[in-house]
Amino acid sequence: MSFVSDSDWRKWGETDPYFGVVSYDEFKSDRIAGNRDRFFATGRREIDIVMRDVNAHYGEVARRRALDFGSGVGRLALPLAELYDEVVGVDISAAMIAEARENCLDGGVRNADFVLSDDSLTRVTGSFDLVHSYIVLQHIPVERGLALTAQMLARLAPGGVACLHYSLQRTLPPARELVYALKHRVPGGRIAMNFLQRRAWDAPAMEMNNYPLAAILKVFEQQGLEDAFITPEWQETALTARVYGRKKT
């Protein structure tokens, strides 16, 4: 089955991969050359936060294999590769994966590999001591994202830790909410809005979805995770959270 969101992310990977990962103007394709260090520094900060939280709550954990879902151009896989024996990145965009492999090559990273995603994660083999995803699941419809959550958590080794990030609440000013609704919910609205915004008629969009926290925690419990905790994070117009849990031993 093909999904609109998948085709959008494939196009982001082909046309503007770094902006597709972190949507700041400085990371657009015509500016990324001078801002690569700042881009990758954002990934290192995220992994520093995750490992600080994990160590504070769970103590020392195994660091054999890590899974990064929605790995993009390798922004998070690179710092994870410094901490884990092996890193597997998963992404829906072949162009993003190609860029991630180039970035690993440029950085001398040899213990990271990248595979194409599908809803059953059929190319992801073995078990992991960490499953991680950040600013990714919010772009996937809730029912589908919860099923992918279950697939990721099922691959945790006993004692392994999950850190998955979700948008919980998003409040836009009325004008921005109207633009979003026209672009995402009205037939032909995306083309019209792209025209009005002076973008290419087929420019990709970024779908946003809020997840019910209770549904997330239910999936964690069903997949055998315990000692769950969340760290909320306000991001301008959204309440998001990292949700942590540890697989029963």
Q: What percent of the chain has pLDDT over 70?
A: 86
Chain centroid offset of residue 77 CA: 11
State residue 2's pLDDT score.
39
Domain parsing of the chain, residue ranges = 4-170+209-247
CA distance linking residue 125 with residue 149, whole number of Å: 16
Query: For every residue of 201-222, which 3-state class applies, written as one string?
Result: CCCCCCCCCCCCHHHHHHHHHH
What local confidence, expressed as pLDDT, does residue 216 receive?
A: 98
The C-alpha atoms of residue 45 and residue 74 are separated, in whole angstroms, by: 14
Q: How many C-alpha atoms does 144 have within 13 Å on its Cβ side?
A: 17
What is the bridge-based pairing of β-strands 128-133 and 112-116?
Answer: unpaired
- pTM here is 0.89
**Per-residue pLDDT tens digits for 188-219:** 666 666 666 677 756 677 788 999 999 999 99
For residue 194, what pLDDT is reported?
60
Choose the CATH number for 4-170+209-247 among 3.40.50.150, 3.40.50.300, 1.10.520.10, 3.40.50.10470. Answer: 3.40.50.150
Lookup: tokens for 71: 């790995």
> What is the token pair recorded at 225?
């995770």
Quick: pLDDT tens for 70-103.
Answer: 999 999 999 999 999 999 999 999 999 999 999 9
Query: Quick one: pLDDT at residue 5?
Result: 75
Residue 71: predicted pLDDT = 98
CB 66 within 8 A of CB 163: no
Strand duo 225-235 + 238-247: pairing:
antiparallel
- Residue ranges of the chain whose pLDDT lies below 70: 1-4, 172, 174-197, 201-203
Cβ–Cβ under 8 Å, residues 25 and 31: yes
User: CA dihedral defined by 116, 119, 125, 130, rounded to 10 degrees?
Assistant: 90
